[in-house]
Chain A
Amino acid sequence: MSTSGYAVELQDVRKSFGKTEIIRGANLAVRSGERVAVIGPNGAGKSTLFNLVSGRFGPTSGQILLNGERIDGMVPYEINRRGLARSFQITNIFGHLSVFENLRCGLLWSMGYRYAFWKFLASLTDANERSEQLLRMIRLERKRDTLAMNLTYAEQRALEIGVTIAGGASVILLDEPTAGMSKSETARFIDLIREVTVGKTLLTVEHDMGVVFGLADKIAVLVYGEVIAFDTPDAVRANPRVQEAYLGSVLADAQVDGAARPTH
């Protein structure tokens, strides 16, 4: 583990697209094992922030560190190999492969099989056992051999999480994992996320305030490309600056959502 003790660190990160600056000097330091929800109004740059950390884009300036190592400027697979995995807002799986194959693809690199074309997949006992285990974790045993594109939406979201965690990354970024789900599906899904990310550092973008206050140890509030608050849920709720900028209107909803949320 790094000397700083932080799993993910952003230091004055900026990102511009043309003349438009989307991320304007974001600072964030997430300790190992923390669950952090990133919230903020639409267009605040939440997805962009995730794209920067996961390497989809490089930042215009500033530093991003993963376990103390600089990762800004690295391509996604290099960052992934260093222990950071992400899911996508729009379901992003391998449609023509079965559920089992999807999961196995997710862990082949991490188990050291790389580009091997001299080994049969069927003989990779460790990879196969781990894939079966993941299958049970995301509760899709019955859909093992179904093609991913033929799953229901909720199942595809679960598989998306499964593929994300498959490689055993210690830092997991989930971009709106419950987007488009019904209330009851969301509740079950949050339990699933909690289970499969035990012991990991979790960053999640989430709009559902019930989910946010239920899942997160800490909340980062992103407004106009800046992190204006980063604290425990209660402290963030009480923060006048946050209320003014963003939370005032959504907090009322949170009370309602919170009631529907399962206690754990």
Chain B
Amino acid sequence: MSTGVARAPIVAQGRPLPGRRVLVWGGFALVFAIAPMIFRSDFSVSILSQVAIAIVACLSYNMLLGQGGMLSFGHAVYSGLGTFVAVHAMLAIANGTLPVPTSLIPFVGGLAGMFFAIILGYVTTKKAGTPFAMITLGLGELVTAMALMIPEFFGGEGGVSANRSAGKSFLGITYGPQIQVYYLLALYAFVSTAAMFAFTRTPLGRMLNAVRDNPERVEFIGYSTQRVRFFSFVIAGFFAGIAGGMAALNFEIATAEVVGAGRSGLYLFFTFLGGATFFFGPIIGAVLMVLGFALFSEVTKAWQLYLGLIFLFMVMYAPGGIASLIMMNVRVAKYKKLHRLWGWYAGLVAASLVMLVGAAALIEMVYHLQLGGAGEPTLGYLGVTLDTTSAVSWIGAAVVFAIGFVALEATRRRFALAWGAIQTEIESDMMFKEPSPVDVPADLPEHGAAASAEAGKP
């Protein structure tokens, strides 16, 4: 939307134009449709399938975290139980006791997720804030313990496996080839994403935001915060279950770890990394989650350590996640000031790379010393050979890291000033021009805080 135009008629205010909406969703569908035509290998298609699953899982998690302010440490309970029930449904289809087409397996998982969200969520959503988080953690542990206690259903250590192509084939679709599975999962991912987006535009979806912002006030405008949380929790559980059912179809196996705290932690981690404050943030997070697992783990054994570092940096410097970084820059670009930042970004990237090279060298050497190497003191690293017994390698790596760190910190501080100046200019531009409603909310972490502190002054 352009600025400076006379105010749009009431109906169009605050919402993207219909044409733009079609474009965004059409583009989203197109990406799903053509991705396997570009990345054709079996490995790629498998990765794409996992991305589709992760998108649904992270978006459903963000209904709680981003939209409802509910920090859940046990979301994998609902996706995981969805996986288990879906695998059992696949077994039932195979032996002919369940007359349901295989295409509906993710939906079966969704119903299972919803069922358990109704039972467990009733207790969970009685509380908010820290007690809520604690209950989700406790329930997560409980279900994990149950998974090992009831091998009849959970299959014990080995899990339960099924065969997705055992059902009747329909129009030649057997779900034997991965590409057929991918397109089914892509369809589920697209429809689920659209449905979850639609949810944000409904009365319940909006009241969920209100509960997040100010639960006390909600009670005084006629709503029970518990009910709002509960209904939303059940819907989130449904979509988590769909993701679980999709996973069942894709992997054809369910093991105890799919309900575990580790999985729940990943949802939290990557939803946050992608950006919980924007609807599309978790989609970015989901893509990173799958790529992180599949690709990063090939490059280095210490990849989880890097993940931890990235998370640390994001929490400290960009608590709104990648989505908020993007949207903040989109806002700057809208006011045609982005060109002033390119130099700074180049500097930041360069300094970060130097620091990363040093830090990674240290990490790799430590890792090599402790776990890898099999007594061999040397390791190849970016074309040079590091020797864990030589002081030169250690000192060299430390110096590179230190140089990078100092450079990054210096650049970051100056960048923050430049960024602040641009934000001030934009705010004064807005005051004079009274722009048309900008889709990008101005609730950027630092500036939002400053603005509300200012507003607090009588």
Contacts and interface: CB of A to CB of B under 8 A. Distances in A.
Contact of B219 (A76, A100, A144, A150): A76
Contact of A144 (B198, B207, B217, B437): B437
A179 to B, nearest CB: 8
Contacts of B207: 105, 108, 115
Given A115-B207, A149-B443, A149-B451, A81 B222 contact: yes
Contacts of A198: none
A116 interface: yes
Interface string A131-153: 01000000000101101011111
A109 B222 contact: yes
B455 A149 contact: yes
Contacts of B13: 144-145
Q: Pick the most buried of A97, A110, A120, A181: most chain B CB atoms within 10 A of its CB.
A: A97
Contact of A96 (B213, B216, B434, B457): B213
Interface in A102-135: 104-106, 108-110, 113-122, 124, 128, 132
Given A92-B217, A97-B210, A167-B222, A115 B231 contact: yes
Nearest to B221: A106
Nearest to A75: B219
B10 A132 contact: yes
The DSSP consensus for interface residues of chain B is helix
A219 B190 CA distance: 61
Given A100-B14, A110-B222, A156 B455 contact: yes
A145 B443 CA distance: 12
A131 B223 CA distance: 18
Contact of A94 (B10, B14, B209, B451): B209
Contacts of A75: 219, 224
A153 B214 contact: no
Nearest to B456: A153
Given A94-B213, A96-B209, A145-B14, A80 B203 contact: no
A99 to B, nearest CB: 11
Nearest to B214: A94
Nearest to A125: B11
Given A120-B198, A156-B455, A108 B203 contact: yes
B221 A116 contact: no
Interface residues of A, number: 53
A238 B322 CA distance: 66
Contacts of A96: 209, 212-213, 441, 443
B327 to A, nearest CB: 14
A8 to B, nearest CB: 16
A262 interface: no
Given A116-B203, A142-B434, A153 B217 contact: no
Given A77-B221, A153-B456, A167-B222, 14 more contacts: A75-B219, A76-B219, A77-B219, A77-B222, A93-B214, A96-B441, A97-B213, A100-B14, A114-B203, A120-B202, A124-B203, A144-B437, A150-B443, A182-B458
For the complex of A and B, the 8 pairs showing the least CB-CB separation, nearest first, are A109-B222, A180-B458, A145-B437, A117-B204, A94-B213, A76-B219, A149-B452, A113-B203
Interface of A: 54, 75-77, 80-81, 85-86, 88, 92-98, 100-101, 104-106, 108-110, 113-122, 124, 128, 132, 142, 144-145, 147, 149-153, 156, 163, 166-167, 180-182
12 contacts: A85-B221, A94-B209, A101-B209, A115-B227, A118-B202, A121-B202, A124-B203, A150-B442, A150-B448, A163-B221, A180-B458, A182-B458
